[in-house]
């Protein structure tokens, strides 16, 4: 299951509204490893961030992003990925980490099992600072 689009309070009550977080920026990147079955790249840079919380309070401000993308292929059918992003500005800092195992079942069918953690240094009042999601995806290629 993936994120269902509902914001919930610390007590589990649904909060009306939604959050928007957009960023456009630029910066250098570096490939730490760059092999067919083992790759890791990092990148960082400044930019402009637009953030709107569940109470429709919005900000457009200078921000930064730092990102890491890691891939390890165990064999032709199983691989591991871990994506980490740090997005920050005066409003707050969001740290996201998504780790997953991918299974290639055929040329056109694969599945992914993942665990995602999002941490917000300054969440909307009533919301928790940490959100964890377990994901199961089925991917059809053509």
Per-residue pLDDT tens digits for 3-35: 444 555 555 555 555 678 899 999 999 999 999
Instruction: Round the average pLDDT of the chain to a whole number and report it.
Output: 88
Distance CA 108, CA 102 (A): 13
Distance CA 45, CA 76 (A): 34
Distance CA 19, CA 47 (A): 19
Helix and strand counts by DSSP (H, E) for the chain: 0, 10
Domains defined for the chain, CATH in brackets: 7-140 (2.40.160.40)
Query: In terms of pTM, does the model score above 0.85?
Result: no
Distance CA 47, CA 39 (A): 26
pLDDT at 135 over 90: yes
Distance CA 72, CA 79 (A): 6
Q: Band of the pLDDT at 105, cuts 50, 70, 90? A: very high
Contacts of 29 (CB under 8 A, 6+ apart): 41, 42, 43
Q: Band of the pLDDT at 52, cuts 50, 70, 90? A: confident
């Amino acid at each position: 299951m993936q994120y269902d689009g509902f914001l919930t309070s610390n007590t589990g009550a649904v909060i009306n509204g939604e959050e928007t977080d957009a960023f456009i920026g630029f910066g250098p990147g570096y490939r730490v490893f760059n092999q067919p079955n083992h790759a890791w790249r990092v990148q960082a840079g400044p930019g402009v961030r637009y953030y709107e919380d569940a109470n429709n309070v919005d900000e457009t401000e200078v921000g930064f992003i730092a990102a890491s993308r890691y891939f390890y292929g165990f064999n032709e059918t199983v691989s591991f990925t871990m994506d980490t992003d740090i997005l920050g500005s005066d409003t707050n800092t969001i740290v996201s980490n998504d780790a997953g195992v991918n299974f290639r079942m055929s040329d056109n069918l694969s599945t992914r099992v993942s665990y995602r953690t999002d941490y917000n240094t300054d969440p909307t009042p009533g919301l928790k600072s940490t959100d964890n999601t377990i994901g199961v995806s089925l991917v059809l290629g053509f």
